[in-house]
Amino acid sequence: MTKPLGVILAGGLATRMGGGDKGLLHVGDTSLLDRVCDRLRPQVADMALNANGDPARFADLGLPVIADSIEGFAGPLAGVLAGLDWAAEQGAEVIVTAAADTPFFPTDLAARLMDAAEGMEHPLVLATTPRTGDELLKSGGGKRINRHPTFGLWPVALRDDLRAALQDGLRKVVIWTDKHDGREALFSADPFDPFFNVNTPADLERAEELLQ
C-alpha cells in the first residue's frame, strides 16, 4: 500500500487559548506540534504544515508551510484544501490530515483510513470514536459516535469541488463529506479518546496527566 501525503492542520485562531500557535505549547518537554510530527511522519510519504501568517516561526520543523487560499479563517476545510493543492503539485492522489493540537492520535491512523476507503472512487474517510455514556446523555441518545473532522483521508480529485463549496460559504466539514458519501473509520476510545485535543489551559493540564 502506497503511503499518502500528510498535512498537519495548524491554521486556527486558538481563541480559547488566548490566541497564538497552540502547536508551540509544550506537553512535557516537547511541543504539541513536535509530538504530532513525530506521530504522523512514519505514517506518510511526505508531510506539510498548514498554517497562516509568517512561516518563519515554524522553520525548526523543516516542513513546507502552506497557507489557506480562502480568506477569512474559513476553518479546517480551508486547511484541507491547501493540503490538497499542495498534494496536487506533488502528483499525489490523497492526503491524510491531523490536527496540530492532538498529541495522542493513533499511530495507525493513515493505514486504518486507507483500509476504510477500499473500493471508493474518491477516498474520503473521517476518523471516529465511540461516544461515552456522558456524551450520549448530553446528545439525548443520538449519534453514538464522535466524528473527528480534522483527522481524515481526502481525495485530490475533489479539491475543485471543495474550493467551490468554501467560496459559497460552506464551513462545516461533515456537510461536505456526507455530500460525497464519505465513510468513517472507528478507533477505540479506551482508555481515553486518542483524538483528545488541547483547546483550553485545562486541556493542557489534562494532556500532561495523560502523558504520565
pLDDT, average across residues 44-52: 97
The answer to whether 7 and 76 have CB atoms below 8 angstroms apart is no
* CATH label of the domain that carries residue 70: 3.90.550.10
As a whole number of Å, the CA-based R_g of the chain is 16
Q: Is the pLDDT of residue 16 over 70?
A: no
Query: For residue 146, which phi and psi values (nearest 5 degrees)?
Result: -100, 125
Question: Band of the pLDDT at 63, cuts 50, 70, 90?
Answer: very high
> pTM for the whole thing?
0.91
Question: Band of the pLDDT at 22, cuts 50, 70, 90?
Answer: confident
Closest CA to 103 of 197, 14, 20, 26: 197
Number of domains in the chain: 1
Q: What is the pLDDT of residue 1?
A: 63
pLDDT, tens digit, for every residue of 147-191?
Answer: 999 999 999 999 999 999 999 999 999 999 999 999 999 999 999
Q: How many CB atoms lie under 10 A from the CB of residue 164?
A: 10
Query: In whole angstroms, what is the distance from residue 159 CA to residue 178 CA?
Result: 15
Query: In whole angstroms, what is the distance from residue 155 CA to residue 80 CA?
Result: 10
Cell 511541543 belongs to which residue? 31
Higher-confidence residue of 15 and 43: namely 43
Q: Is the pLDDT of residue 19 over 60?
A: no
Cell 476510545 belongs to which residue? 189
C-alpha cell at 29: 518537554
Query: In whole angstroms, what is the distance from residue 107 CA to residue 194 CA?
Result: 10
144: containing domain: 5-211
